[in-house]
Structure 1
Amino acid sequence: MTRPLLRDLYAALAAALLVTAAVLVGRHIQSSHHTLFVNWPPLLATWSPHVGPGTPTALLVSAAVVAYGPVLAARLPWRALLATAWATATAWIASLALIDGWQRGIAGRLTTPHEYLQVIDRFDDIPATLRDFTHHILLESPDNWPAHVAGHPPAATLTFVLLDRIGLRGGGWAGVWCIAVGATACVAVLVALRALAGESLARRAAPFLVLAPAAVWMGTSADAYFAAVAAWAVALLALAVTGRSLWWAAAAGLLFGLTCYLSYGLTLVALIGAAVLLLGRRHVRARPMLLAALLAGLAVVPTAFTLAGFDWWEAYRLLVTRYHQGVGGIRPYGYWVWANLACAVMITGLATAPGLRRTGAVLLRRHSEPPGHVDLALLVSAALLALLVADLSGMSKAETERIWLPFAVWLLPACAFLTRPRPWLAAQAVLALLLNHLLLTGW
């Protein structure tokens, strides 16, 4: 066994030990003090071994990706690879969700008392609701919003209101929307990787993006949809800085603005965007014009919501207060600040740990590494930095298995550095299958 491979195994073992510690310590804290508010710490889940209608398809998809994924990723024409990646990711996410059955796995996910579909009828007059939105965030306010509605800017809820308006009503359509759109996140990451780090590394990352354990929580969670919007914002920015396109820059800015009005925490995607600008500096000749187009696009969504009467900053201030009024104010920071990282291991898989180890090694040897490898390492590092800032903020105590999906999709490309992909892909698949068959997840 070579020394790099041995170090990879040590990294994976360290990640597994982190998860084990988070489970054991979390169970002790929850049974002794009942302050974690999750049934199977560090995940919001319940121990319940089961199989379901999605089990055969999930097994088939995972086996096919492990067996043929690396070869197909290397040989398919680029556009065919993108289409195949989206279709396979969709099948993987949907089949995992259907292990819990159609109603519990997909149709009922976004109809629970804390979710967005509970308030569709309160948006009959959208402008009036937006003007009044901040008056219902605090728990003591009249007709306070459910947790997820209060916890996000109104673009999140408006998405499902608009789906309802065009006839795609109910939890089934909302779930299908999140799965179909969320699965495009892997395509967006591949587009960005090809533009910034080269096609070879993008192709090597493709099977890991498709077979991510994060799929357990991408079907069906609105955070999967948020992850896709954020990923396309970064991808379009990568195309803008490498192709010197003002239109791509404006479109990227538009999606960055929308991202910030889908989730307050996704303002941290700006760190990944900044890395893209840094990496694209050697391609950019008309930088002032590109930045102007980016900023022009970025202003559209905030301007529209502000003119409609929604104050983002006031809403965020009230959200912080509400967060500490509820379980967020009780959950112990001292546990979650490191147990959240165990959640990150479970959504990115054991393969990402050695991938991150190799990422660090590339940065240490950056002067002797190919430029594409260094660019990929910097992009992954920016995503890791964003995740760590979110962790240290104290506003992500628990439930990060879904909240951090937009950051997780940018950690998975680190697996492109792994030299023996099939065993690591198998580990990714086994982890996801075990999680979804042994636990009833909350999302």
Structure 2
Amino acid sequence: MSDTATRPEPVEDPFLDDADPTSRITWRRDLVWVGGATALVALAAIVPIVMGDDLRGRIFADAAPLFGRWLPHMGPGTIPAVVIGVAAVVVLPIQAPTLRWGRLLVVISGVATMWTFALALIDGWQRGMAGRLTRPDEYLAEVPGVHDIPATLEGFAGRIVDFGPESWTTHVSGHPPGALLTFVWLDRLGLGGGAWAGVWCVLVGCSGTAAVLIALRRLGAEDWARRCAPFLALFPGLVWVGVSADGALMGVAAWGVAALAVSATTSSRRASAIAGVVAGVILGWAIFLNYGAVLMGFVALAVLIAARSARPLLWAIPGALAVVAVFWAYGFWWFDGYFAVVERYYQGIASTRPFSYWGWANFAATLCALGPAAAGGIGRLCRRSIWTRPAALLAIGGVLAILAADVSALSKAETERIWLPFGLWVMIATALLPARHQRWWLSAQVVLALAVNHLVLTYW
């Protein structure tokens, strides 16, 4: 199958042309958006201090708005993280526009992976990588007890609500069984323990950067893909990809969306059907990794609107329903799990965490994962005239998913990690930043990630 037959030819988008007067936005407006984002983060940090112990004791975030505690430190990953960050800032803006497509995918995902490992190792091997997922409230604590997978699935929902003799640990109870099964399967393949679990999360999560680029190219936005590629490689959210299961979900969901884009833009009916089924299966699996993954529907819908095709739904919906049917056949019904999780959610600290604070501080935490470049890009994304661009639609889909997640009131704190799957698509907006200023924006992203990882001991 020829390349020209499987995707739209890329065209130059005038909104990415710095010489086009219609696309010029002054630095003043960019700084207003970045300043607003900075003010929101600062306010989220200052309010608990000003309000005193009454609020600080209820938000359960010692380094608010981030979930972690203040602990200036360095580690074996410090020098590699700085070197990789600086080298990427220097090289990627030059290479991204000209590298052959396949090499670009390898370079961007490779840089993201190396940088994520380096960032994690700032906290040390055990504390930053091997021990992250082995704590008593994490997935690996339950792996040894899973001897019979069908029996586990059949009784899974009944163990979600807390204070029972067999209640799941916090993270297992808060997610569908797919997350636990992933680590059980790794263990049975001989890749058990925290180190392999951490490596898995990093590799799968960072591969999502390539998936975003593929989706953009398939939708005829290769110019956007090349412009945002360096920002994907230096995404500050990689601090939490290493190591969290939500980082792995970020990668899984991204590949589901990429497959959907392939299905929507492939001229061959057979190839479109195959890609559509793959997209449905991957996205269907994603909602069994995290209940919140259903909000990836905003990004998926954006793909269909951008491609002006609903054809993939003929294949994706049956693919997703097949995954649902398999879990149902083994005794786990998604909605039973979801309603039990809502009950469990308010049995813990969520019942104490005030939405009056987290309803807006969630965005401050997320901005720490997106970085100032994303804030500038979102500001440029606000022009109505750009909303018809396919790539812009995907970024808007990510923004809408974040807004919906916040309104649900089921995400109070820790959104720098929980909303990673949505935030990755918001990073597409960085393509709107002037190419001649990329290094300044990338430097700000790197400084933010390094500052967070060196000043705060994040929980993930």
Give the corresponding residue for 1:393. 408
C-alpha spacing 1:252/1:29, structure 2 compared with 1 (3 Å)? farther
Q: Does residue 1:255 correspond to 2:272, yes or no?
A: no
Paired position in structure 2 for 1:195: 218
Where does residue 208 of structure 2 map in the other structure? 185
Query: Could you tell me which residue of structure 2 aligns to residue 39 of structure 1?
Result: 62
Q: CA–CA distance in 2 between the matches of 1:26 and 1:194?
A: 44
Q: Deviations over 1:144-184 (max 9, x none)?
A: 10110000000000000000000001000000000111110
Task: Establish whether residue 224 from structure 1 lines up as the match of residue 241 from structure 2.
Answer: no
Q: What amino acid is the match of 2:327?
A: F
Residues 233-269 of structure 1 deviation map (CA, whole Å, 9 limit, x = unaligned): 1111011101141111110000110011000011000
Q: Give the fraction of aligned pairs with identical amino acids, expressed as a percent.
A: 45
Q: Are positions 1:365 and 2:385 aligned together? A: yes
Contact in 1 for aligned 2:236/2:369 (Cα 8 Å): yes
Distance in 2 separating the partners of 1:141 and 1:349: 41
Paired AA for residue 143 in structure 1: E
TM-score, with structure 2 as normaliser: 0.92
Aligned twin of 2:138: 115
Correspondent of 2:430 among 415, 420, 427 = 415
CA distance in 1, matches of 2:287, 2:236: 25
- 1:42 CA displacement: 1.1
Map 1:14-413; keep pairs closer than 5 Å: 14-29=36-51, 31-33=53-55, 34-244=57-267, 245-281=272-308, 284=309, 287-288=310-311, 290-361=312-383, 364-366=384-386, 374-413=389-428
Report how far residue 3 of structure 1 moved: 5.2
Question: SS of the counterpart of 2:155?
Answer: helix
Q: CA deviation at 1:201?
A: 1.0
Greater helix proportion? 1
**Is 1:109–1:171's contact at 8 Å kept on the other side of the alignment?**
yes
The answer to whether the 8 Å contact 1:387/1:404 transfers is yes
Asked if the contact 2:221–2:390 (Cα under 8 Å) also holds between the matched residues in 1, the reply is no
Aligned residue for 2:58, secondary structure, equals: coil
Residues 3 and 305 from structure 1, CA distance in 2 versus in 1: closer, same or farther, beyond 3 angstroms? closer
Alpha-carbon deviation of 1:80? 0.3
CA contact (8 A) 1:90 1:179 kept: yes
Q: Is the 8 A contact 1:43 1:399 kept in 2?
A: yes
Equivalent-residue separation in structure 1 for 2:96 and 2:253 (angstroms)? 24
Instruction: Write the distance in 1 (CA, Å) between the matches of 2:50 and 2:213.
Output: 41
How far apart are the structure 1 equivalents of 2:323 and 2:370? 31
Question: Could you say which residue in structure 2 is the equivalent of 1:428?
Answer: 445
Q: Distance in 1 between matches of 2:360 and 2:260?
A: 32
Report if the CA contact (8 A) 2:116-2:238 is conserved: yes
Change (3 A) 1:210 1:261: same
* CA–CA distance in structure 2, aligned partners of residues 309 and 222 of structure 1: 24
What one-letter code is carried by the residue in structure 1 that aligns with 2:30?
A: D
- What one-letter code is carried by the residue in structure 1 that aligns with 2:64? P
1:196 CA drift (Å): 1.6
SS in 2 for 1:111: coil
Q: Secondary structure at the match of 1:220?
A: coil
Contact kept, 8 Å, 1:30 with 1:37, in 2: the verdict is: no
SS in 2 for 1:351: helix
Question: Residues 250 and 345 of structure 1: is their aligned pair in 2 closer, same or farther, counting only changes over 3 Å?
Answer: same
Secondary structure of 1:110's match?
A: coil
Counting matched residue pairs gives 430
Alignment partners' CA distance in 1, 2:67 and 2:52: 12
CA contact under 8 A between 1:15 and 1:342: conserved in structure 2? yes
Q: State the distance in 2 between where 1:424 and 1:395 align.
A: 32
Deviates more, 1:334-343 or 1:36-45: 36-45
* Secondary structure at the counterpart of residue 100 of structure 1: coil
Q: CA RMSD in A?
A: 1.3
Whether the 8 Å CA contact 1:186–1:209 is kept in 2: the answer is yes
- 2:427 is equivalent to residue 442 of structure 1: no
Q: Tell me the TM-score normalized by structure 1.
A: 0.95
Q: Which runs of 5+ in 1 are unaligned?
A: none
